[in-house]
Amino acid sequence: MPTTQQNINTNLNTIGLYNPSAAAVENEIAQSLAIIVDNTVSEINNSLTVINAAISSKNYGKPGYYVYWALYFQYGYSLSVNTTNDPTTGIPTLEYYYSTIDTTAQIINQAAFVSNSGGLFLKVATLNTTTNLLQQLSSLQLSSFISYYNTFQLPGLPVNIISLNANILNFTAQAFFSATYDLPTLQTNIYNALVSFRNSFQFNGTLFITQLQSYMTANVPGLISFYISGQTIDNVPFAGEISLTSGYFNYYSVLLNNPSSQITYIPQ
C-alpha cells in the first residue's frame, strides 16, 4: 500500500505540478504534507475510538439506558455530576448521580422503552402503596420526572414520556369445576388467581386472553376450565390479544368485588 507521501507525489504528477528538476524539494514538501495528513487522520481515528468507547460504556441509545435512568429517578432530590476524567478515554465522565440513595423516593416502579415509526416513547407507572396497584404519576410527579429525564435525553432523539391510568379489563366467564370441590373455596381461589395474574403481568407486554385462561386453570385447584368471552379494554371489544397503551391493566371493579355477577360456575 503506497505511503501518504507517495500518494501526494503521484497526485502532483497527475495534475502536472511535479517537476523532475526540483524533485528533491518537492519530495521534502510532500513529506511535510504527509506528516500533517497522517497526524490528522490518526487524531480523528483516536477521537472516534474515544467516542465509541464512551458510547459503549454508557449504553447510550439502547432500551436498557432509558429504563435504567427512569427507575433511578428520586422524587424530591437533585442530581449531582461527576466531572473527573475517565482513566480509559481521558474525557470528562459527566456522570450524574444522587449523593444519597433513597429507595423510598424512587417512585418509578415500572418503565418500558418503545421505539416505532412514530418516535421514541417511555411508559412509566408508580405504585399506590395503599391499594398496592400501579397508577399514573401525579401532575407534580410527572413534571419533576420530565425535568429530571431531560438530562439523559440524547440530542436529536427526543423521548416522549407516557404515564397513563391503567387500562380496564372486563369480561364474562364460565368456570367449569369439579362438583366435589367446595364452591366458596373455589371462588376465593379464582379471585386470588385473577389478582396474581394481574400483578405478575409483564409491564407493557401483550395481553393474551388464552394466557389468562390457561393461568386460571393451572393455578386454581378444582377448576377444570375457565372460558372467557365478551372481553373489553376500556369498554372496547378486542379479540384474542391486545397491547396496552398504559403498559398495564386493572380489572373492572365489579369483576373482583362481585365476581358471581360475571362469572358463571358450572359443576362437572
Per-residue pLDDT tens for 144-180? 999 999 999 888 889 999 999 999 999 999 999 999 9
In this predicted model, which residue has the larger pLDDT, 87 or 218? 218
Model confidence at 127: pLDDT above 50: yes
Indicate if the alpha-carbon torsion angle 45, 47, 50, 56 is positive or negative. negative
- Residue 239 CB: number of other CB atoms within 10 A? 7
Model confidence at 63: pLDDT above 80: no
Nearest of 246, 259, 260 to residue 168 by alpha carbon = 246
Q: Which pLDDT belongs to residue 187?
A: 96
What cell was used for 132?
398496592
Nearest of 108, 103, 258, 113 to residue 190 by alpha carbon = 258
Contact (CB, 8 A) for 125 and 163: yes
Q: What one-character DSSP code corresponds to residue 223?
A: E
Q: Which pLDDT belongs to residue 51?
A: 41
Model confidence at 41: pLDDT above 60: no
Model confidence at 248: pLDDT above 80: yes
DSSP one-letter string for 138-172: PHHHHHHHHHHHGGGPBTTB-EEEE--PPEEEEEE
CA distances from 108 to 41, 69, 122 (A): 46, 10, 12
Q: Which pLDDT belongs to residue 246?
A: 96
Beta strand 133-135 with 119-128 is: antiparallel
Residue 8's SS3 state is: helix
Model confidence at 48: pLDDT above 50: no
Give the best-scoring range by mean pLDDT among 8-22, 33-47, 70-84.
70-84
d(CA 131, CA 135): 10
Q: What is the mean pLDDT of residues 242-249?
A: 96
CA angle 81, 82, 84 (to 5 degrees): 150
Nearest of 148, 154, 145, 156 to residue 107 by alpha carbon = 145
